Structure 1
Amino acid sequence: MELDRRLLLAHCAAHALSVIAGLLVVVPLALNGSAFKGRCALFSQGFWRSENQSASGAQLDAGTHLVVQQWGPPAACQFATFVGVFTVLYGATQSWRSLFYLHRRHDDTLFSAFLTLLLSLCVLFLSGGASVILTLGLVSWCNTVTDHNTRPYSCAESQSVPLYLDVETSSFYSELTCAQVSLWCVTALWLVHSILSFLRLYHSHSQQISGPCLSREKELLLGQSHVDCPLQCQHPHPPQPPAVFI
């Protein structure tokens, strides 16, 4: 198997994995957004309030409930969702494109390979930023839910504890954690895309430089052509001195 076919197969497999990882980002975030009625839990601010009720002249403790002062900015959730959706669409398109190239036995042009590398690097930084935002936002929400780890349960256990909010909180930790892990996987896959795109660009550049020279030298060796090779392929011989007759 030639080098370009190995790179195409590796790139095709990476794009297929990107589709799966992107779906594991988009679906949990969509479910969480639906459960939270379009609100974003990331970076939300709140506190726990204790309430007492009087009954028959006696004070009875009614327990505590979480009060959300300010929900997180919607852009924090939308940014991670955008990276996931773009990864799914781009991965599906490039997977089909790579399979088409494998069937046709050819690769990208030099300019197209350069654009692919540039796009991969840009989305790598975007996905890395989205991963950091999602991670920090989940930590902030967990600090709010557990009252900075002073509650008798962890953040994972708090999804089974009544928070007395007007949103569904029975699976928020599972959904956000799945999206967080998947988004870091997406970032790692975009790093793989960048490396493979660079290798394909280098391979295309090498083929473009060495291709004409190799074909010209082959023709000269076979005696099929006596046309001079281009300047970068020439191997000039030193001029012979003129013969002197006495």
Structure 2
Amino acid sequence: MELDRRLLLAHCAVHALSIVAGLLVVVPMALNGSAFKGRCALFSSGYWRSEDRDELPTQPGTVPHLVVQQWGPPAACQCVTFVGIFTVLYGAAQGWRCLFYLHGRHDDTLFSSFLTVLLSVCVLFLSGGASVILSLGLVSWCDTVTNDNTQSFSCAESQSVPLYLDVDTSSFYTELSLAQVSLWAVTALWLTQSILAVLRLYHSHSQHISGPCLPREKELLLGHSPSDGSPSPLPTFIFVV
């Protein structure tokens, strides 16, 4: 198996994995956004407060509940969702191209390979930043829910604890944790794609340098015929007086 074919097969496999990982980012974030009514839980701030029976007549005695002072910026959740959607669409398009190249037994041009490297590196930094945002935002939300770990329950257990918010919090930790792990997997896959893209660029550059037209061009520059190796005749000038 030739080098370019191995690289194409590896790139196809990485694109297929990126589609799955991207979906595991988009679907949990969409479910969480629907459960939270379009609000972003990342970097949300709040505190716990106890209400007596007069304010909450349906609950016996004093009932503590969470008060959200400010919901997180929507851009944080939108950035995470964008990286997941772009990964799915790009993986599907590039996976189809890889299969087409495998069937046609050819690869990208030198310029196209360079653009692939540039795009992969840019999205690698974007996905890495989105992964950090999601991780830090989830930690901030968990600190709010557990009151800086002073509550008797953990962040994962708080899904089953009534927070008395106007949003559905029954599965927020499962959704955000799944999106977090998947997004870090997407970042690792983009790193792999960047490495493979650099290798394909190097291979395309090598093929371009040692192409079949180079010996013929060299012979023409030296003034030899490519067929018989005989020197080309000098041009004859006729002067008319």
For the criterion TM > 0.5, the same-fold answer is yes
Query: Secondary structure in 1 aligned to 2:51?
Result: strand
RMSD: 2.0
Q: Residue 98 of structure 1 aligns with which residue?
A: 98
SS in 2 for 1:47: strand
* C-alpha distance 88-210 of structure 1, shift in aligned 2 (>3 A): same
Number of residue-to-residue matches in the alignment: 220
Distance 2:16 2:151 in 1: 42
Identity %: 78
Match of 2:206 in 1: 206
Once the two structures are superposed, what CA deviation does each residue of 1:92-148 show, in whole Å capped at 9, x if it has no partner?
000000000000000000000000000000000000000000000000000000000
SS where residue 152 of structure 2 aligns?
coil
The whole-number CA distance in structure 1 between the counterparts of 2:208 and 2:199 is: 14
Which of these residues, 215, 229, 233, is aligned with residue 226 of structure 1? Answer: 229
CA 1:227–1:137 in 2, change beyond 3 Å: closer, same or farther? farther
Counterpart position of 1:52: 52
Q: Find the aligned partners of 2:151 and 2:230 in 1 and give their Cα distance.
A: 85
TM-score for both structures, normalised by structure 1: 0.85
Uncovered stretches (5+) of structure 1, i.e. residues with no partner? 55-59, 229-246
CA distance in 2, matches of 1:225, 1:77: 69
What residue identity is the alignment partner of 1:36? F
Deviation at 1:216? 5.0
Structure 1 residue 211 displacement after superposition: 2.0
| Distance in 2 separating the partners of 1:32 and 1:130 | 17
SS at match of 1:102: helix
Cα distance in 2 for partners of 1:227, 1:188 equals 57
Aligned amino acid, residue 229 of structure 2: H
Equivalent AA in structure 2 for residue 111 of structure 1: F
Change (3 A) 1:224 1:162: same
Equivalent residues in 2 for 1:64-213, closer than 5 Å: 64-212=64-212
SS at 2:169 equivalent:
coil
- Residue 236 of structure 2 corresponds to none
Alpha-carbon distance in 2 for matches of 1:43, 1:154? 18
- Aligned counterparts of 1:187 and 1:45: Cα–Cα separation in 2: 28
The two structures have a TM-score, normalised by structure 2, of 0.87
How far does residue 214 in structure 1 lie from its aligned partner after superposition? 7.5
CA distance in structure 2 between the aligned counterparts of 1:180 and 1:119, rounded to whole angstroms: 23
Specify the code of the residue in structure 1 equivalent to 2:153: Y
The residue that corresponds to 1:40 in the other structure is: 40
Separation (CA, whole Å) in 2 of partners of 1:52 and 1:61: 6
1:52: how far off? 2.2
User: SS state of the match for residue 185, structure 2?
Assistant: helix
Deviation at 1:78, TM superposition (A): 0.3
Q: Which runs of 5+ in 2 are unaligned?
A: 55-59, 220-225, 232-241
Aligned partner of 2:79: which letter? F
Aligned-partner SS, 2:44: strand
SS in 1 for 2:108: coil
Q: Counterpart amino acid of 1:85?
A: I
Q: Distance in 2 between matches of 1:173 and 1:119?
A: 32
CA distance in structure 1 between the partners assigned to 2:84 and 2:215 by the alignment: 45
